[in-house]
């Protein structure tokens, strides 16, 4: 980087090369050369002004590097979320199309199915009749029956639905994979509704207009709460908020890439 050909008579000095002053300021010159040049630079107002400008630039860059990044604008985050959702929709495989079958083949197949079904029903009816005759206690004068009834069907909530059990989280051993798997979920947990969640976010200084990529009822170290998963503007990085039943902020942590 050093350009020593700009000095007077081949020697480094006034008029000073900016490259030489930058190398001197950065400390890349050897100690003897630096010790020889510093007194000359400090005695030259023009060279010293360049050194001070370099020092100010270095300080500004250091301050910018340590400053907290500004949050992504809400409208930008919303557009990114919408674009990601649109791409995910496009990536879904198209539904399979049934092969076209001639009407004659379809009729023959239907007739075979009807004949087969009639035979199965007849066999089943005969089996029920034999059981009713052979087994004792299958019927009586009072019409009671000892035949065991099938258990009543129970419904199980689909994963991510509001009726699903809350996700158990621990601050000291956070299951990031389970948290990220809740993307697309809208389960408001103990807060109950979107309006209540928005009010709690506002109470904690958060912008409720920033759309969450996932909302899920959780327990944090055994304490019930509502988890809110948001983007940060960084690729594969998210902000995890957990709000308590009383709107208190139980957890605020960055997870994912670079966290």
Give a yes or no: residue 32 inside a domain.
Answer: yes
Give a yes or no: residue 16 inside a domain.
Answer: yes
Q: Which of 14, 49, 66 is the last residue of a domain?
A: 66
Mean pLDDT, the chain, whole residue set: 75
* Spatial separation of the C-alpha atoms in residues 76 and 81, rounded to whole Å: 9
Give a yes or no: residue 196 inside a domain.
Answer: yes
pLDDT in tens, 68-88: 667 778 888 888 888 888 888
Give a yes or no: residue 123 inside a domain.
Answer: no
Give a yes or no: residue 207 inside a domain.
Answer: yes
Q: Rounded to the nearest 5°, which phi and psi values hold at 127?
A: -65, -40
Q: What's the number of domains the chain is made of?
A: 2
Q: Which of 18, 48, 66 is the last residue of a domain?
A: 66
Give a yes or no: residue 238 inside a domain.
Answer: yes
Q: Which domain holds residue 8?
A: 4-66
pLDDT at position 133, please?
47
Question: Which of the four pLDDT bands, split at 50, 70 and 90, describes residue 32?
Answer: confident
Q: Among the listed ranges 51-60, 111-120, 149-158, 193-202, which one has the minimum average pLDDT value?
A: 149-158
pLDDT at position 177, please?
86
Q: Which of 23, 46, 66 is the last residue of a domain?
A: 66
């Amino acid at each position: 980087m050093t350009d020593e050909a700009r000095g007077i008579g081949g020697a480094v000095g006034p008029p000073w090369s900016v490259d030489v002053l930058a190398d001197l300021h950065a400390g890349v010159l050897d100690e003897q050369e630096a010790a020889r040049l510093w007194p000359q630079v400090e005695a030259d107002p023009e060279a010293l002004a360049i050194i001070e400008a370099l020092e100010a630039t270095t300080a500004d860059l250091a301050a910018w590097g340590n400053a907290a990044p500004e949050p992504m604008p809400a409208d930008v985050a919303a557009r990114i979320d919408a674009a990601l959702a649109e791409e995910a929709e496009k990536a879904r495989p198209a539904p399979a199309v049934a092969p076209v079958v001639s009407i004659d083949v379809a009729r023959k197949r239907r007739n075979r199915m009807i004949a087969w079904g009639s035979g199965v029903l007849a066999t089943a009816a005969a089996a029920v009749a034999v059981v009713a005759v052979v087994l004792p206690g299958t019927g009586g004068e009072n019409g009671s029956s000892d035949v065991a009834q099938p258990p009543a069907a129970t419904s199980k909530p689909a994963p991510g639905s509001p009726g699903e059990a809350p996700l158990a989280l621990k601050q000291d051993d956070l299951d990031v994979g389970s948290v990220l798997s809740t993307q697309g979920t809208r389960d408001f947990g103990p807060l109950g509704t979107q309006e209540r969640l928005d009010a709690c976010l506002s109470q904690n200084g958060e912008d409720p207009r920033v759309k969450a990529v996932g909302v899920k009822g959780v327990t944090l170290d055994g304490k019930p709460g509502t988890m809110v998963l948001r983007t940060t503007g960084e690729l594969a990085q998210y902000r995890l908020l957990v709000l308590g039943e009383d709107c208190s902020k139980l957890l605020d942590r960055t997870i994912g890439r670079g966290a």
